[in-house]
Structure formats: C-alpha cells, structure tokens
Amino acid sequence: MYELLKTIDDPATLRKLDRKELHRLADELRQFVLESVSKTGGHLSSNLGTVELTIALHYVFNTPHDRIVWDVGHQTYPHKILTGRREAMARLRMFGGISGFPRRKESEYDTFGTAHSSTSISAALGMAVAAKRKGESRQVVAVIGDGAMSAGEAFEAMNNAGVLDTDLIVVLNDNEMSISPAVGGLNRYLARLMSGPYVAARKAGERLLKSMPHMLEFAKRVEGHAKGLVVPSTLFEEFGFNYIGPIDGHDLESLIPTLRNIKSANGPRFLHVVTRKGQGYKLAEADPVLYHGVSKFEPQSGIASGKGGGKLTYTQVFGDWLCDIAAADERIVGITPAMREGSGLVRFAAEYPDRYFDVGIAEQHAVTFAAGLACEGLKPVVAIYSTFLQRAYDQLIHDVCIQTLPVVFALDRAGLVGADGATHHGAFDLSFLRCLPNMVVMAPADENECRQMLYTATTLAGPAAVRYPRGSGTGAAIEAEMRALPVGKGEVRRTGRGVAILAFGSMLRTALDAAEELDATVANMRFVKPLDAALALELARSHALVVTIEENAVMGGAGSAVAEALAAAGVSVPILHLGLPDVFIDHGDQGQLLASVGLDKAGVVAAIRARLPGSGRAIQAA
C-alpha cells in the first residue's frame, strides 16, 4: 500500500515522475490523508479537495526556490506529506508533533506561517517584490480559497499587486462553486488558450499598438468585454491581473499544462480552479461542513471513535441562550464572520433567518455592522472566536467603544484551545479588552454563569464581552430563567486562611481543587472590568498572600487589574500572578497544555507553596 507515495520524500523526487504516474500518486495521497486524519483528527474536507492541485503545484514549480504561500492552511496536509513529513503525520496537531498549519520553523517548504484567513496574497506580493529588488528569478504563488476571498485584506493586496510590475501568481481554489458554473471541456480549452497562445498574442498586440495609445486602449476594452462573455474575468482583470480559468482542479491533464503556461508568463496572473471539498470520500462530499474538522473516526462508517461526554459545551450554551433571548426580545440579532457551526449558531440561523447575519470572513465589517445596528436600536450579538476578534481591534475601539454602543461580544475559544495551537489560542482578550473605556468584561466559571452573563450583557447601555473556553464546562445545572448579575461583583466560594486565590472564569474549578489542599480562600471574581476592587481589597487585608489565576496572558490581564486596584488603594501585600506566560504556546491536548504552563491543580499548588515560607505550611493571616 502507498508504494508510489512512499518513494516521494520531497518535491524534487515528485518532479522525476512521469506524468502518467501522477494519477496513481493522487489516489494514494488522498487515501493516505483519509487514513491519517481518521487516526489523529484534524481538517479533512479541504485537504481531500486539494490533492491534485498540490501535486500539480509542486510538479510544475521548483519548490522551495519557487514560493508557494497557502492561505489559512486547512488544506496543506497533502503539501506536508509531499515535503518530507509523511511519517510525522502520525502526530499531527499533538503535543510535540507537527502543526496542522504551515509553519516556517517546521519546513523550508512552509514559506509563510498561516492559520488566520486572507493573508496569502499580501505575503506573496511581499516575497515577489523582494525577489525583484534582490534580482532573484523565482515564481511566487498564493493559493487562496473562495471563502478567504471575502475578506478585505485579499482585495487590498490585489489592488496593490495590480499596480506593481511584479511576477505574482494567485490561484483561487473555488471549492463552493460560488463564482463559476460547472467546468468542462470548453473551459479547459479556454484556460489553455488564455494561458498559452492567448498570452503571446496579447503581448504581440500590445507591442504593435504601443505607438497608438487610443487604439491600444480600445483593444483592451474589446478584449475585456469579449472575455467577459465566456469567463468571469472582469473583476480580476480590473485589478490588473491576467485571469485564466475556471478549470477543473481535480484534472491533472488540465492543471499541469495550464500552470506551465502561466509559469512562462510574467506580471500578475490569476488562475481560477474549481475543486470539491471532500473529493474522493463520499461522506465528506455529502457533508463537507461536518467533515471540515474532525476528531478520530472510523473511515468506513464515518463514526467518531470513543464516546462523547454528557456535558453541554459552552458553545451549545451560547447557541441555546441566543434562541431563548431572541424569542423574548425581537430586537436581538446574531452576527458571525463565517463561523456559524463553530460559534453555535446553526439553530438560531434556522429559527430566526431574518435576524441571522453571516458576513463572511470579514471580522472588521462584522463589528462595525453591529455598531450600525446598535445605533438604530437593535441589540446585536457578535459571536466570534477570541483569536479572531483581534482582527477587528480598531473597529472595536473606534466604532463601538468610543460611541458606547450596546454590542454584545460572545467570545468563544477563550484561553487554550488545544490542537490548533498558537494561532488560535484566545490568550490575549482580557488584556486587550480591559484597557478599553466603556467596555464591560465578564468571565463565567461555569455553564449557568455563562448564560446569565450573556443575558446581563444585553441589559447594559454599552458594549460588553463574555469570554468562555472551548469545550464543556463543569456540568453545572442551567437555569431556564435569565437574570442579570450585579455588575462588577464577585463572590467568595470558599473560606480558608493565609492564602486568597482570586479566580477568573475557567480557572475557578482548578482554584477550588488547589484550595482544598492548601486550605485557602477562593473568590470567583466574575468581572474583569469593572473589577470588584472592594472584594480584592478585603481579601488582601485579611490574607498574607494574594494569588490571581486566569487562562489569559499574565501581562496586562486580570491579575494586573487586581495589582492596579491594590496599588491604587495603597495596600501592600505579596501577590502571585498565575496565567499564561509571555510565550506563544504550541498545540496539543488542552489539559496537557494547561499542565505545561502550571495551570492544573498540581502546578497551582506547587507555585503557591513555592511562595510560602518553610515547608509549605499555609501562611497565617497577618
């Protein structure tokens, strides 16, 4: 099995194959991806859809000298397998294993680190300009999906590329059939014509008409209108790109000649290929969304391995709450930047389609769109991952907070998210949110508190954020009734002596477990802003050591807020801040990652005892 694939250790070996062997290689590579991901979990549909495209790119271009920049990176497993990481796929996205996304430090073939959308054209343009300035002859190819093309950065880059005399190739991987009709023999013929003889004829015509600018301009207009009759080229041509396609992204006999013709041309070139998510695996073809990101599963049946837990996830809690509040208040609307499933909005979208807005991969627009809705009396709820809100920080400040608009931000995946790693950890939201005037920031300790905090956010006259972790909570019973919590008020959950642990959000359970061993006092602080300064001061005055714990960067986070409050009141007490260190934390199991940074029970107990005098006895109250 995989006899041909096992001979490919790098693209140079791939390029030695006869073209007739590539079809067999594609079959083996697709089967290897399926088998591999079924054992490790990961992104499946998008990777099955780019097998032939990946083979063709590495077959035609002289990688790594020629640069390939993948957008997001969900589709790069075939690329990793063909670039020397076939055996490493056994530990994909695991602690100490290879990443699920391109990483520069992992391979010279990963020319640009990605995971957030729509960066490829900008990065590739930078590389192309650098090559030109250094006098280096190389091709630079950006591979971007049609979803990523919905983000403004992609069009900003294209707008810039079109006015630079730079060799750049953009490959649009259209896997939703959202731009073009079905492809066939005619489109294949047109693609070859436009990438080969057409380009030569175009250049000859330009030279001939160069001395007659009016005729040259007229010819370009005629050309544009003529191409617009048969291919959707007008938009990309207006950006200054020579548009080629659409072509079948699973047809190697079309891909390879077309890419070779494009490679021999120069200037900005745009190749439109149409692929199918889940290609070759019928279950993924039938439901590419379900099989976009998977846990371990049995390939024949598609059934996930192991049994799931009975607890609700925070994402489910949010989705149910949004439907409940929408039933009670017709002003509620839900907004997502292309994360309906991930953010728990499937039910809401079905029950309230006229109040559900998926704006595409456009976080900046999502936030300002919400601000506009709030201006007119609606109550927008923006469901967004913590890591993606970073992309709309200026809009958060300028369009929401300065105007004190009542927008609710439901921040999913706050803290360490696991296998997606550094690019997706919600490590900074408490730090970048609490410094914003007019913003209320809440961190629930369990599922019911999450529901009540979300409701509380809708009752406020200004912006509010509720940040909650990935996965399930403690199994807390959820109250159907929605009630507003007193803003800026925490609660003491355990009374001990000597040590006071001020816990924020997801760290409460760990703090309580550690406190049992230390006989410490534990407070569920609930609000990061406004902070319950009175409670913090009370505990600081009655205990000899204050410990803050949060699943956020220590620098500028909730612990910093406590330290600032104590300093402002002139209270001097030893204080220990526990949280995420000043490094980018790698991928792995969530529990394993928390333990690696000392945020499990053992790590918390050890850190506190290290600050105690003697052999670890509790500090007596001052």
Asked whether 410 and 318 are in contact (CB, 8 A), the reply is yes
Asked whether 272 and 245 are in contact (CB, 8 A), the reply is yes
Residue 192 sits at φ, ψ, to 5 deg, of -65, -40
Q: Exactly one of 363, 447, 550, 551 is catalytic; which is it? A: 363
Asked whether 138 and 65 are in contact (CB, 8 A), the reply is yes
- Any catalytic annotation for residue 391? yes
Residue 422 sits at φ, ψ, to 5 deg, of -55, -35
Q: Exactly one of 103, 276, 277, 526 is catalytic; which is it? A: 277
Asked whether 422 and 431 are in contact (CB, 8 A), the reply is no
Say how far apart CA 431 and CA 577 lie, in whole Å: 14
- Any catalytic annotation for residue 276? no
Which residues are CB-neighbours of 207 under 8 A, at least 6 positions away? Answer: none
**By three-state DSSP, how is residue 49 classified?**
coil
Tokens (6 digits) for 622: 């001052």
Say how far apart CA 542 and CA 514 lie, in whole Å: 19
Say how far apart CA 293 and CA 575 lie, in whole Å: 41
For tokens 């006869």, name the residue.
Answer: 18
In this structure, are strands 499-503 and 521-524 parallel, antiparallel, or unpaired?
parallel
Asked whether 539 and 452 are in contact (CB, 8 A), the reply is no
Which residues are CB-neighbours of 185 under 8 A, at least 6 positions away? Answer: none
Tokens (6 digits) for 81: 């397998």
- Any catalytic annotation for residue 277? yes
Tokens (6 digits) for 226: 């003529």
Please count the other Cβ atoms lying within 10 Å of the Cβ belonging to residue 376.
Answer: 7
Residue 54 sits at φ, ψ, to 5 deg, of -65, -45
Asked whether 120 and 144 are in contact (CB, 8 A), the reply is yes
Count of all residues that appear for the chain in the document: 622
Q: How far is CA 562 from CA 336, 511, 521, 552, 565, in A?
A: 33, 16, 16, 14, 5
Say how far apart CA 411 and CA 24 lie, in whole Å: 45
In this structure, are strands 140-145 and 168-174 parallel, antiparallel, or unpaired?
parallel
Asked whether 389 and 363 are in contact (CB, 8 A), the reply is yes
Say how far apart CA 26 and CA 30 lie, in whole Å: 6
Q: Exactly one of 85, 86, 103, 391 is catalytic; which is it? A: 391
Tokens (6 digits) for 162: 């079109």
The catalytic residue positions are 277, 363, 391
